């Protein structure tokens, strides 16, 4: 009897806020094609999760991030086209300079700064809505 080993790819994303809005990109490629999500993607060999979040932020938006703080962690099931057993997703809160303009590039078809109530009406993965709820609870706890 052979046992199939499930492989998980490491991925990270960056939550960037500005003036009460959160930066989202519209994904160009699977998984999550055409969904809005935090800038992010798969780790490259030897990268830490924080390094992945900062690199993906810069590749997809042109923004240079700093001070990554782990916010939450997800184990996401595979989608058929992903070719993996799923993703171990690390989500970081990341700082960027306020005056820097974000431009969609790499895997981002488009991007924008959205209020939480606007995000709730966009096509987003469930993890995005979960993060918004966690952010709101964290603000309420202060």
- What pTM value is reported for the model? 0.87
Q: Which CATH class is domain 9-141?
A: alpha beta
Q: Where are the domains of the chain?
A: 9-141
| 26, 96, 12, 105 alpha-carbon torsion, rounded to 10° | 40
Close Cβ partners of 121 (under 8 Å, ≥ 6 residues apart): none
Residue 8 has pLDDT above 90, yes or no: no
Backbone angles phi, psi at 9, to 5 degrees: -90, 140
SS3 94: strand
- For 65-109, what is each residue's pLDDT tens digit? 999 999 999 998 765 444 557 889 999 999 998 788 999 998 888
Higher pLDDT, 119 or 142: 119
- For 109-133, what is each residue's pLDDT tens digit? 899 999 999 999 999 999 999 999 9
Rounded-to-integer distance, Cα 29 and Cα 31, Å? 6
For residue 45 the two structure tokens come to 């060999």
The distance of Cα 129 from the centroid of its chain, to the nearest Å, equals 12
Phi-psi region of 100 (alpha: psi -120 to 50; beta: other; left: phi over 0): beta
pLDDT band, very low/low/confident/very high, at 6 (cuts 50, 70, 90): low
Q: 67: burial class by Cβ within 10 Å (0-12, 13-18, 19+)?
A: exposed
């Amino acid at each position: 009897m052979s046992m199939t080993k499930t492989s998980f790819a490491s991925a990270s994303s960056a939550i960037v806020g500005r003036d009460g809005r959160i930066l989202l990109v519209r994904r160009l490629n699977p998984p999550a094609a055409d969904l809005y999500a935090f800038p992010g993607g798969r780790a490259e060999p030897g990268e830490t999760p924080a390094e992945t979040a900062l690199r993906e932020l810069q590749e997809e938006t042109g923004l240079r991030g700093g001070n990554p703080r782990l916010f939450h962690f997800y184990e996401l099931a595979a989608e058929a086209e992903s070719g993996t057993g799923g993703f171990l997703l690390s989500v970081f809160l990341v700082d960027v300079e306020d005056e820097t303009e974000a431009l969609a590039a790499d895997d981002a078809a488009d991007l924008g700064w959205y209020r939480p109530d606007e995000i709730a009406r966009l096509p987003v993965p469930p993890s995005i809505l979960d993060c918004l709820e966690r952010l709101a609870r964290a603000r309420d706890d202060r």
